[in-house]
Amino acid sequence: MKRPIHLLLAVGGFAALGWWAYDTLRDPPGLAFEVAAVSPVGDAQAGPAQASTRVVADPAPDDPAPAAAAPATRAPASAQAAAIGVESAPVETVALARTVSAVGTLRAAESVVIKPEIAGRIARIGFEGGQRVQRGDLLVALDADVLAAEVEQIRAELALARSNDQRTAELAERNFVSASARDQTAASLKILEARLKLAQARLAKTEIRAPFGGVLGLRNVSPGDYLKEGDALVALEDVSSMQVDLRLPERFLGQLRAGQAVEVELDAWPQRIFEARVEAVDVRVDADGRALTVRGRLPNPDAELRSGMFAKVTLTLSENPAAVVVPEEAITPVGAELFVYRIVDGKAFRTAVRTGQRRDGRVEIVEGLQPGGQVIVAGQAKIRHDGQPVRLVDARGRDVVAATAVRGG
């Protein structure tokens, strides 16, 4: 008999608990219900369990406990939410050189291919390939026996002609010979003197000497070789200084002048830069390519450089010690115009600019900006109008400074 009563009490308790939960969710938050189930302890005759409910009213306004538990009220942040997060960079001034790059070719300051002026057989060679020589050093001697004999013959004839001229002059003073005979002997003497000079000049040409100091090329002849007039013997170059020739478009003509700095890079020495100076600008512009040739000169005291070497040349046209530059990311093209967004008092303003050269990720601003301000380098696409509030963020989107503290130029 007790078992059905216990089951009935348990069912009644669960029903009361369910009703309490339902009533709590249904009622307004200002009321709270406290539900207690009567324990089945006691006499079995007491009957079914009784559920009692107690209503707890809303606390009084001056109750401190609920006030402490209430959430704190936050000030509206609509102005902060309206500011667009952007990244910025300063407008800087740097020393910037205006340069132009081209390719060029090295040439020796003086260069010649030694050639004989007369034909003859090589009697002696006075050099070795790659040798350094001084001006006047003997390089090649041709067989001079025939020419030396001609010189001796003419000298003998000249001695006789001088004796005849002297006797004729004495006879002319005594009127023993005519004036015509006197003139003939004088003319014969002059002719022989001229023939002697000519023979001596030919004899001198059998010795080929260095016209200037320099370094010789490879020797390709041997003693006994027969040379004709104009046959190449050996190359001679003065490599104490070198010339570099480069071609530039004609639009640079007005910016070129002697003495401008030139940097020369060579494949043979990839880690070195050779300094040169503009020596001259060609007087003519090539009509085919509309280009002009510029020649620079650079020292070569150690004879490291050679003619014909390929050179990468950078010519400095002008230097600006205080050029205004911004990062390339700050430039925003709109049609044919270029703009940047300046930050002024926490707001973005679009500004038209005119750019110059680009170098190392930065762009020269020729017109439109003054140094000292801030420009936007990321986030320009989110700006819809001039004067839109912005705030500075880093690459991860985190605020780095309050927008109201940003001052621009």
Torsion angle (degrees, nearest 10) of CA 363, 366, 370, 372: 30
Beta-bridge mates of residue 352: 339
Topology given in CATH for the domain delimited by 114-227: Helix Hairpins (1.10.287)
Handedness of CA 16, 19, 25, 28 (dihedral sign): negative
Q: What pLDDT is stored for residue 54 in this prediction?
A: 38
Q: What pLDDT is stored for residue 358 in this prediction?
A: 85
Domain 84-94+322-405: give its CATH code.
2.40.420.20
Handedness of CA 365, 367, 370, 375 (dihedral sign): negative
If DSSP codes are grouped into helix, strand and coil, which group holds residue 253? helix
Q: How far is CA 31 from CA 36, 56, 65, 70, in A?
A: 17, 6, 16, 16
Q: What pLDDT is stored for residue 46 in this prediction?
A: 36
Q: Is the pLDDT of residue 348 over 80?
A: yes
Q: Is the pLDDT of residue 405 over 90?
A: no
Global confidence as pTM: 0.57
Q: What pLDDT is stored for residue 26 in this prediction?
A: 52
The answer to whether the beta carbons of residues 86 and 393 sit under 8 Å apart is yes
Q: What pLDDT is stored for residue 357 in this prediction?
A: 83
pLDDT in tens, 59-90: 444 444 333 333 333 434 455 557 888 888 88
User: Any idea how long the chain is?
Assistant: 409
Architecture label for domain 101-107+237-320: Beta Barrel (2.40)
Q: What percent of the chain has pLDDT over 70?
A: 78
Return the minimum-mean-pLDDT range out of 89-98, 129-138, 400-409.
400-409
Q: Is the pLDDT of residue 298 over 50?
A: yes
Q: How far apart are CA 345 and CA 322, in angstroms?
A: 26
Nearest to 85 by CA among 301, 389, 311: 389
Q: Do domains 101-107+237-320 and 114-227 have the same CATH topology?
A: no
Task: Kindly state the average pLDDT of the residues 118-124.
Answer: 93
More confident: 14 or 302:
302
The answer to whether the beta carbons of residues 84 and 391 sit under 8 Å apart is yes
Amino acid at 262: V
pLDDT in tens, 199-236: 999 999 999 999 999 999 998 899 999 999 999 999 99
Enumerate the domain spans of the chain: 2-65, 84-94+322-405, 101-107+237-320, 114-227
Q: Quick one: how many helices (H) and strands (E) in the chain?
A: 5, 22
Return the minimum-mean-pLDDT range out of 213-227, 299-313, 347-361.
347-361
Q: How far apart are CA 180 and CA 178, in angstroms?
A: 5
Q: How far apart are CA 378 and CA 343, in angstroms?
A: 12
Q: What pLDDT is stored for residue 295 in this prediction?
A: 94
Q: Is the pLDDT of residue 296 over 50?
A: yes
Task: Kindly state the average pLDDT of the residues 124-153.
Answer: 93
Contacts 24+ apart (CB under 8 A), 51-59: 51/12, 51/16, 51/19, 53/20, 55/31, 56/31, 56/32, 57/31, 58/30, 58/31
Most confident of 185-189, 273-277, 320-324: 273-277
Q: What pLDDT is stored for residue 404 in this prediction?
A: 39
Task: Kindly state the average pLDDT of the residues 33-46.
Answer: 36
Q: What percent of the chain has pLDDT over 90?
A: 39
